[in-house]
Amino acid sequence: MNKWFIMSLNDEQVSGPYVKDELVEMYKKQLIAQDIKVWGRSLASWLDFENWQKYIKSSQGDKSRSKTAEPVWYFAHKGDSFGPMTYNQLIIDLKNNMNNIGQIHLWTVGMQNWAPVFDFFNVTNELGINQRQHPRADIKGTATVQVNDDQKTHFITKLTSVSQGGVGLREAFGLKSGDQIHIDITADGIHHKIKATAQVRYVTNSGFAGVKFENISAENASSIVQYIKDQNSQFKLKETA
C-alpha cells in the first residue's frame, strides 16, 4: 500500500506517512491545512492536494482496466488492417503470422501513428522474438520523466526492458502517446545515469509505455548496448548450465 507524506506551506514541516483514505478524510474534516503539498515514492515532486487526487484517480482508473479485456488493438500487413481486437487476441494472431512479423505494424488507442511490432517491448517478449536479431534486455530500475519541457511535471516510473532504440516503462499512467519527454534512467547494471530526450510511442490501459529515444549521447548509447550484451551473455550461460 502506498504511503504519503504532507508538507505545510507555512512552516514547510513534513508529516506522515499516511494511507490514501486517511489523508482524504483528514482533508475533508479540515484537520490539516487546505493548501498542503503531498508526496509519495511514485512522485518526483510535491503536488497540491487537488492534483494529487487527480493523480490517484488516474492511476486507479487505469489499473482497474485490463489490457487484455478491451478491443483496442489493430495490426496491419501489406495495406490491410485487422481489428479491433483484445490484447490476447492480438498476440494469438501475431503468433499465427510470425513469418511476416517484420512487415507488421500495430496501432492502439492513443497512438498518433502505426509502429513496427519491434517497438512494442511487451509484445515482442510475449512472442518470444529472437533477441539476437532484435537485441533487448529486461532491466530493473526507475525512470524520472519530465514531460514537454514542463519543469513542474515530473514523475517516476519503473523500467521493464531496454534496447538501443528505447525503453519499456510500467506504471506510466501520467504519460500519453506523442508526449515529448526528457528521461533520466537509473538502473541496476548501468553505473551512471542515462539521460535522453524521447517520444512516447504508446501507452496501454495497464500503464505500460513504449518510449523511443530521439536524442541520446554516444556514451549513453554505448552503455546501453554493453548492458544488453552483458545481460544476454548471462542468459546464454544459464541456458547452457
Q: Quick one: average pLDDT of 129-150?
A: 79
In degrees, rounded to 5, the angle at the alpha carbon of residue 62 between the alpha carbons of residues 57 and 64 is 95
Q: Grid coordinates in use for 53?
A: 487526487
Q: Grid coordinates in use for 68?
A: 487484455
**Is the per-residue pLDDT at 4 higher than 50?**
yes
Q: Topology of 136-240 in CATH?
A: Thrombin, subunit H (2.40.10)
**Is the per-residue pLDDT at 138 higher than 80?**
yes
Q: Are 202 and 115 in contact (CB under 8 A)?
A: yes
Q: Grid coordinates in use for 190?
A: 548501468
Q: Quick one: average pLDDT of 185-198?
A: 94
Q: What HEC string does 96-110 produce?
A: CCHHHHHHCEEEECC
Of 180, 138, 129, which Cα lies nearest the Cα of 159? Answer: 138
Report the SS3 class of residue 7. strand
Break the chain into its structural domains and give their ranges: 4-64, 73-127, 136-240
Residue 82's pLDDT band (boundaries 50, 70, 90)? very high
**Is the per-residue pLDDT at 162 higher than 60?**
yes
pLDDT one-digit tens code per residue, 204-217 = 767 788 899 999 99
Cα separation, 36 vs 53, in Å, equals 12
**Is the per-residue pLDDT at 96 higher than 80?**
yes
